[in-house]
Amino acid sequence: MRDTKEKLSSLTIALHWIVGLTIITLSGIGIYMSENEAFELYPIHKSIGVLIFAVIIVRVYWRFINGWLQPVTEYKAIEHNLAKIIHWVLIIAMIVMPISGFIMSGAGGYGVSVFGLEIIAAQFDPIAKEAIPHNAALAGFMAETHEIAGWTMVFAIILHFIGAIKHHFIDKDNTLKRMLGKN
């Protein structure tokens, strides 16, 4: 089923909420890990990140073949353009985040595994008990990219949430109901 102005397909709704809630969760875990050096959370963060990337690819593909969502009502040009920009930022960040994390971890010598299934082998120095980077410069660049994309994503999600609340409580339109499948 294709999305319409009045109703979204169950696939669109499912992809939106699965990706959105997972990214919010991973962002929270990522912030907690970096601020508290909670190294024990890295394997689950990486595993979920790799898996959600597959869902993100499906979501982005679906968005492009299905087209952009039509607004449920007419809005000012600035509102429409701002929504488009935020959606593009979200799409780009959804792609950049997992790719940069994957490359950062692999190039940094930490490896990447999905719930124990090794995708890129870790490279550890058993004496120093630390990772041996394959490419420290690339790992560092990807770490910066991951952090910048992460904070950009958090900011865009906040704006997206504010927009949804505005539609529901101020504009009193069916945008939020449509994304919840309740129209």
Using DSSP's 3-state secondary structure scheme, residue 126 falls into coil
pLDDT of 183 above 80: no
Angle at 137 between CA 101 and CA 116, to 5 degrees: 35
All structural domains of the chain with their residue ranges? 10-179
- How many C-beta atoms surround the C-beta of residue 56 within 10 A? 21
Would you state the CATH architecture of domain 10-179?
A: Up-down Bundle (1.20)
Phi, psi for 73 (deg, rounded to 5)? -150, 175
Closest by CA position to 138, among listed 120, 117, 126: 120
Share of the chain above pLDDT 90, in %: 91
Q: How far apart are CA 23 and CA 48, in angstroms?
A: 9
Compute the residue count for the chain. 183
pLDDT tens-digit readout, 119-155: 999 999 999 999 999 999 999 999 999 999 999 999 9
pLDDT tens-digit readout, 169-182: 999 999 999 999 99
Whole-prediction pTM:
0.92
pLDDT tens-digit readout, 34-61: 999 999 999 999 999 999 999 999 999 9
pLDDT of 10 above 90: yes
| Residue 9 pLDDT level (bands cut at 50, 70, 90) | very high
Provide DSSP, 67-92: -PPPPSS---HHHHHHHHHHHHHHHH
